Structure 1
Amino acid sequence: MDRLIGNFQIPAGSLTVFFIAIMITLGFNDRVIMPLMKKREGRPCFTHLQKMAIGLVLATFGMRAAQCARKRLAVAKANGGLNPLPIRVFFLLPQFLLVGYGNAFMPTGQLDFFITESPTGVKTMRTGLFLGTLSFGFFFSSLRVWIVNKVTGGKNGGWLAKTINQGRLDCFYGLLTILVVGEFEI
């Protein structure tokens, strides 16, 4: 994708800087939304479970990455793999912001849950429990990538091919969307 801003080229690995939406959302939520809702309703506006649900909903909408990947792949095929593609990198910005907003709610809701709902005997372990769930999440994420590579790997490398224009990243994001929606059932 075209990553130029004037003469400066944004490094591809630094696009996650747009997850700054987490800090913006947390600050806005704590300083504006929560006080307004508390004043209006007389209680905090979101329970920890509601925060987790909001995070999942935003993460689901953030999986519009599947549509972005499909569009990028179509442009790559139409342009014969021209590098860089005639798509601005800011095309990805909405999904980074949505996932960032979701991450502002989901982990804070989980931490609130562990702090307020844990039995007295495990109060000292609550942060460890929270970090343990994150660790297991990262582990299973790596496992999911390995499984997808094994199941979809073909002569072109499957969904997560070494060359992005030969893979089907849109299918992988579609799978992630299904898994996030499935979390509502659990």
Structure 2
Amino acid sequence: FLDRAAIKDPSVPKANKWNLATLTDVEEVKLVVRMLPIWATTIIFWTVYAQMTTFSVSQATTMDRHIGTFQIPPASLTVFFVGSILLTVPIYDRIIAPIARKVLKNPQGLTPLQRIGVGLVLSIIAMIAAALTEIKRLRSASSHGLTNDPSAQIPMSVFWLIPQFLLVGAGEAFTYIGQLDFFLRECPKGMKTMSTGLFLSTLSLGFFVSSVLVTIVHKVTGTKHPWLPDNLNQGSLYDFYWLLAILSYLNLVIYLVFARWYVYKDKRLADEGIELEKAEATF
């Protein structure tokens, strides 16, 4: 369909860029259109990421945050994001990449799409871990009679939250780098500046989707048995985490379909014998 834009219409006496595109223009538009499914299926990762800076911090405020006499600020738990990334990147470079080169016969190790896929898998595991931790936290609150006290400190160490922070942090290391590499590599040369914008838009949309989900959950669960009340000890935050795990799994399945279908720009253009830099002639 897009190829028609590069076909000269005999009924038009004088062609210009508004009624006749070059083959380069057509191929560049095709490249962007092919990237959109990958772009769309990475948004949910950042929706999961958003929970680590919101509800996970809220969980931390209700738990035992003491190390000796020092009390850890709840928001400071996000430092485990940074720690996880700092650990994941060298582990990938020193261990995972060399193994991937040998097994996959790929000089770069994991491809950008494979990296993103790993990040999406880790986000699912993180939500499962978060749900299980929340169930344990609620049981502890119930057994100690603290369910009705929103300001009570549950005798359960805040370090139970570390796995979900580490998993999302590791997932960010894979997804962030994979996305950035993918968009920089696959965007047409004339649109390289847009590649970073495409990547960052998934992050912002992820937080937006998170807000929409929270609003929908509030309306659906109502006031009798709310999942996300002001007093988390009376809610079902774990159900919200399970919901995110299910949505992330469904998103992963869709992503794998599109990733398998996707052909990298260099390979596709080489197979079709097209060189964008020289393709100025029209059909």
| TM-score between both structures, scaled by the size of structure 1 | 0.91
**Once superposed, what is the RMSD of the aligned Cα atoms?**
1.8
Distance 1:38 1:95 in 2: 29
CA displacement 1:101-146 (0-9 Å, x = unmatched): 1111012111111011112332121111111121111111111111
Task: Compare 4-13 and 42-51 and name the one that shifted more.
Answer: 42-51
The equivalent of 2:78 in structure 1 is: 16
Could you tell me which residue of structure 1 aligns to residue 221 of structure 2? 152
Once the two structures are superposed, the pairs formed by residues 47-86 of structure 1 within 5 Å of their partners are 47-63=111-127, 64-81=129-146, 83-86=152-155
Once the two structures are TM-superposed, the CA of residue 31 in structure 1 deviates from its matched residue by: 4.5
Q: CA deviation at 1:159?
A: 0.6
Q: In 1, are the aligned partners of 2:122 and 2:168 still within 8 Å (CA)?
A: yes
Q: Which residue identity lines up with residue 45 of structure 1 in the other structure?
A: G
Which letter maps to 1:171? D
TM-score, length of structure 2 as denominator length: 0.61
Separation in 2, partners of 1:161, 1:113: 40
How far apart in 2 are the matches of 1:172 and 1:37? Answer: 35
CA displacement, residues 135-183 of structure 1 (integer Å, 9 cap, x when unaligned): 1111111111111111113146x11110110111000000010111011
SS in 1 for 2:155: coil
1:80-107 deviation digits (Å, cap 9, x = unpaired): 1173212111111111111111111012
Alignment CA distance shift 1:123-1:68 (3 Å): same
Give the secondary structure class of the aligned counterpart of 1:53.
helix
Structure 2 unaligned residues grouped into runs of 5+: 1-62, 255-283
How many residues end up aligned between the 2 structures?
Answer: 185
**Which stretch shifts more, 66-75 or 36-45?**
36-45
Q: CA deviation at 1:29?
A: 1.9
Is 1:180–2:248 an aligned residue pair?
yes
Runs of 4+ in 1 over 4 A off after TM superposition: 35-42
**For structure 1, which runs of at least 5 residues remain unmatched after alignment?**
none
* Larger CA Rg, structure 1 vs 2: 2
In structure 2, what is the Cα distance between the partners aligned to 1:75 and 1:139?
A: 32
Q: 1:119 to 1:42 in 2, by over 3 A?
A: closer
In the alignment, residue 62 of structure 1 is paired with which amino acid? Answer: A
Task: Report the Cα distance in structure 1 between the residues aligned to 2:85 and 2:95, rounded to whole angstroms.
Answer: 15
Identical counterparts, % of pairs: 52
Q: Structure 1 residues 11-20 or 50-59, which shifts more? A: 11-20
Q: CA deviation at 1:73?
A: 0.6
